[in-house]
Amino acid sequence: MLGWALTFLVVAVIAGLFGFGGVASASAGIAQILFFVFIVLFIVAMIARAARGKPPV
């Protein structure tokens, strides 16, 4: 999922450089949403792992 966020971020930067403002803002918004979803899932996974008694890696 982090890979998709980075992909949309790159698309947003490239679209912004070429002057496609609508595409750039849409891609940046998608990248931001995916990044925050990734962070939330990562935190949930770490809490679940700690709850099972396994130390963080």
Mean of per-residue pLDDT scores for the chain: 86
Token pair, residue 35, equals 């990044």
Q: Between 43 and 3, whose confidence is greater?
A: 43
A 10 A CB-CB count for 21 gives 10
Separation of alpha carbons 13 and 2, rounded Å:
17
Q: Where are the domains of the chain?
A: 2-51
- Please write down the HEC assignment for all residues of 21-33: HHHHHHHHHHHHH
Residue 54 reports pLDDT greater than 80: no
**pTM (2 d.p.):** 0.69
Token pair, residue 2, equals 């982090």
Rounded mean pLDDT, 7-36: 86
